[in-house]
Chain A
Amino acid sequence: MNLPQNKIPVYVTNGTCVSPMGFNLIDNIEGIKKGHIAISEITDENLQNESFYGAVINKELLNKAFSQLTYKGDFSTLEKMMLLAVDQIAIEYKAQMNDKCGIIISSTKGNINALSTENNEAYFLHHLAKKVSNAIGIESEPIVLSNACVSGIMAVSIAKRLIQTEAYNHFIVVGGDLFSKFVFTGFQSFQAISSQPCKPYDKSRDGITLGEASAAIFVTKDLNLIKSNSFYEVIGESSINDANHISGPSRTGEGLFQSIKNAVKESKIEVSSIDCISSHGTATNFNDEMEAQAFNRMKLEKTPVFSLKACFGHTLGAAGLLETVISLAFADQNLIPPSFGYNEHGVTLPLNINSEAIEKEVKIVLKTASGFGGSNTAVIFKKCTSDEK
């Protein structure tokens, strides 16, 4: 077939996010720098008699922030979170909305609170996607990616592929998921909910902390549209299934290992040039151990690695995109974010994890994610500066 001799370069820019820590990127970045986390202790007897930890957005503040935007009509909490995240992109790239611009909505459970045995309309993910895409004036049919916990980052690689094969010129990628009783009780039944704010890669880790968030990014091949001083090229990506187990990762990290290997190969970079890894790091025993296996097999054990789960909780379909947006914003400032919750090394192989932010020139960022269904994704971003245009 057509070998991609001269691949079209694809860039990401204007990342934004909405989390309990703040409704814009700057508040989230500054919060992390100050050592704040979005996770708090919650009392809700509907979910559990004892209090628990979660990263939940204050809905009064959300409604207030949303009311300052110009969107008219009824929107669900998740739709408001998504629109709040994507608003600035929609304004800045208004002229591109009808120029073969697609939208990918990444979500695992969408408006899950609308599920009932009667009127289910709002439950359907395409309904949510249409609400968001109509509100910002995208004409093309919205694409929903629902691929468990890799959805957010996989959506970026799908946008890149569809631009490289010239089916689209630009994409808006929006990710979001709620903190819900539906998901909380499910993970509870797996005994996978941490009794403390989760502690990725730590010896005392005992499971995940759930969170809710939304994030958005603009993906394009057109350098002229990029106004920020630093932006990133998506230089390699791959998503390989473990083909091993539907709810547990491969013990050897096979799918993640192959995903990273393929992404590195496509990037034509040396593994040693990766400056940091924004990992999945859910703080379950199996996930963190599996990642340690895969990173070591790739000889990435000396590369700084961090998980943002102890800050934002596990935000499911938003996680991969939220963590990308945060990681790239730190890279802009030549900083590597702290891996909160890490004190004592708790996986069997070495990894370079730091509980404090590190100052270092960051040019190449590897983002990984893994999830139920055996899914894994690795995407490599390379920093570009405005004089490269």
Chain B
Amino acid sequence: MTRRLTIARFLILAAVAACTPSSQTTARTDSTGTAKSTGAATSVAGTRIAVPRTTPAGEWQMPGGDYSSSRFSDLSQITAANAVNLRASWTFSTGVLRGHEGQPLVVNNTMYVVTPYPNVSYAIDLTQAGQPLKWKFRPENSQAATGQACCDVVNRGAAYADGKIFYNLLDGHTVAVDASTGKQLWRTKVADLTRGETMTMAPIVVKGKVLVGSSGGEMGVRGWLAAIDASTGKEVWRGYNTGSDRDMKVGPRFKAFYAQDNGKDLGLTSWPGDTWKQGGGAVWGWLSYDPELNLVYYGTSNPGPWNEGVRKGDNKWSCAIMARDADTGELRWAFQVTPHDMWDYDTVNENILVDLPLGGTTRKTLVHFDRNGFGYTIDRATGEVLVAQPFVQMNWSTGVDLKTGRPNVVPEKMTAEGKNVKDICPSLEGGKNQQPAAFSPRTGLFYVPTNNLCMDFEVRPVSYIPGTPYIGANAPEKKGPGGHGGEFIAWDATTGKKVWGIEEPFPVWGGALATAGGVVFYGTLDGWFKAVDASSGKELWKFKVGSGVVGNPISYLGPDGKQYIAVYSGIGGDMGLLIAGDVAANLPYDVRERGSTLPDLGRWTSWGGMLFVFSL
């Protein structure tokens, strides 16, 4: 493992840190954990989280911690100086052994956990020793869904609002559960399992509407974002990501920043024939919201199928960042990150809303680390690309043309039927996948879990059969140059430069947490949960949990006034289940051989399903 560090940057950060008041905890949090929010805390001039938390700093009410998806906690008891004293406080078995992506919530001294399929939820009482359950909720959930989900039966978490817990079921339903009793309040079918739509993403709740989307980019679905009334469970609006302007909710208020992205019915005309009907563009990643602009941001998945010959054209709006009016669902702007994708570079990764100093002024930006390997800093009001630089090793593109926003593609790395293109970097898992990054206003840096993988890509004919995969390619993967599988990096989004990095033997498939104490947390596929110094990347502490980490750490304040860090352990997802294969050891009728991509992963971990909670 190596650390790379820009010394000058480190010195500046160290100086900034030294000049910052250190009494954050007492200043910002009262003893009951219901203190006022300080999400706007600024240490680097002109830098702030766009949407200050209006919820208590000691809680974690939405998937990304706040509407900005910053995954920043204002708690600061755990510092670079004392992190070495971290220890496991308590654990909880979820009773499920599949990929534990996502994160728990903490509200009113209660922790809410949602499991992978069958999507059981638990309310854990944090006020009592031994953490007994208040309730558990076992939803109806069709078993057939397990065979329609492309990449393990994961769930990326719940959202809390107004005394209710909202989350998605794999079989295409969204449920609302009473947070105090565990009673189901409503259950609404929003996705069609018979057409390959499953649900794995974490909703957010905006002004009484629950926003959800479906998975199925590998199943020939037609992607959408829907808003459900949080009180009644009735669908309020739905905006498709392909098809006519009417279906897409494109009207007079739509304005893309780049000329080529404006025009009538682009969701139809950028596809041959009816191919947009099975064109993918699913919404299985993360949502963000800016109340001032009243825009909801999300990314769309790869176009289907992977065989690009079936769908010549830009394939709008697959692989795009979308900004919709939160009330009406109207599409306000869209930016297609990878037009006519031919490598499975979904754009579903999180969009982190941060104001940053750029060109002498403070810009309202959205920072996005795409599967295609570029880290984008984008004007979140207009969709203009301000910075786009590679954050991992790549060879499919020479850079992004800032006049058009489009990547310059290396012709030899273009895939096509009848070709087997060798050594494309990053691989189809992307420079980063679903594992969300975190941002700290105290360092001005983004903390990004990344993959270092390359692939060969052989395209074959494919036919659309509803309810079966719609792919048409074989793409074996391997570790990229350097031989490490991933790297946990700190990124400066104003310059598009890596500040430091920690190389990991395996792709870093767990998310990041940044804290006001100057400590950043992340977990690894081989089961290490780590605390590192936010400024230098120095490893401060690590603990070997029972199973690989593909979940995202959170921080909360316990009823005892102590800061806790919680994270799921439970390997799975695309990387942990499909690629590694042999980590699944418990099914006598499904014994898998180890995969060539990560041939040693099974030595370090097996399936599991545990919540780990740490404190000083």
Are A and B interaction partners? Answer: no
Report which B residues bind A (CB closer than 8 A).
none
Residues of A within 8 A of B (CB): none
